[in-house]
Structure formats: C-alpha cells, structure tokens
Amino acid sequence: MLTVGRLGVTDENRVMVLRLRRHSKRIHGGPIMIAQRPLVLVVEDNKDIRDLLGLFLLEKGCHILEAEDGKQGVQLARESHPDLVLMDLNLPQLSGLQATTILKNHADTEDISVVALSALCTDLRWREKAIQVGCKNCIAKPIDFAELTRILRPYFKEDRNPGFSAHDETE
C-alpha cells in the first residue's frame, strides 16, 4: 500500500505536484521511507524571473508551484500548504506585503515560511516592513544565487534534500 501525501494537477503553466510521504509495505521487516522533496511556491509577476527561480529550485530538488500575483499566491498557498513561499513584494492584485499578512493571519497558513524576494529589499524600510508582516528574510534582486542558497538551506533538511548542501556557497 502506498501512502500519498499531496497530489495536485494544475494548468499547463504549473508543475504537477506529487508528494509521497511513505511506503507502508513491509519489506525485510520495516517500512520503506520515500524521500519527500520540498514544495516551494514562487509568487512573482515577472515570467522570466519565475522561470529562472523554477530552474534553480528544480536543480536543488524541489517541487515548485508558481503564482503571478498576490491573490493567486494566497490561493495556492491555502490549497497546497508549501514548505516555503518566495514572495515578490511588488505584485498586482495583492502586494507581497498584503499577501504575506493574509497568510500569517490565518490558522491554516500561519506556519508557512515566507521569504521576500524583491528589488525593494535593497531599502531598509522595505526589509523592515517585510519582516514585520511575517517574512523570515528579505532577499534583494538581482538575485545572488549563492546568497539565496545560503538563506534557503535552513528550510530544507540536507538528508531530505541534498540539493542544498554546504558546498553550494562556494559555487
């Protein structure tokens, strides 16, 4: 018997999500554990940046979901409960600050980690606002992928996701 965590199919612009939690069939006396890959929701209105982040996260062994505005980001977070949300701050529909506030003020999404990823993060006032509404960190664009790897590593256990290993910082 196979125990399946989340299974979701979205439109052609998003990745199909299949998260296997564990295989409960006993072989040689114990259950087989299947590695669970982290699910990251990228909320970004710029398609090129979404695509770039998607490739980076796929290379790191993550499943990804994408949203192109704050409203869609909140909806996908509520439906899929990702391990992490990378949130642009300057978004249509709902800003990243508004979307993060909504997520942090609802019991079903308050524990989802949100990291702001925005050109606005170069401004100390915006960084403070992002942290104040619940973002765990604020990464400036243009994206420094070594910094992004370093900041994201604590969100993913290395034994669960070897894509975030210590040697990545030197690349």
37-170: in CATH 3.40.50.2300: yes
Angstrom distance (rounded) from CA 124 to CA 49: 23
pLDDT tens by residue, the chain, 171 residues: 333 444 444 444 444 444 443 333 334 444 544 457 789 999 999 999 999 999 999 988 889 999 999 999 999 999 999 999 999 999 999 999 999 999 999 999 999 999 999 999 999 999 999 999 999 999 999 999 998 898 888 877 654 455 555 544 444
Instruction: Write the CB contacts of 40 (distance below 8 Å, at least 6 apart in sequence).
Output: 57, 62, 63, 64, 65, 82, 83, 84, 85, 86
Instruction: Tell me how long the chain is.
Output: 171
What is the torsional sign of CA 37, 39, 42, 47?
positive
* Helices 124-133, 96-104: inter-axial angle, 10-degree rounding: 20
Q: What is the pLDDT of residues 13-56, one digit of tens each?
A: 444 444 443 333 334 444 544 457 789 999 999 999 999 999 99
Could you state, in order of their start, the residue ranges of all structural domains in the chain?
37-170
Could you tell me the two tokens for 6? 């989340």
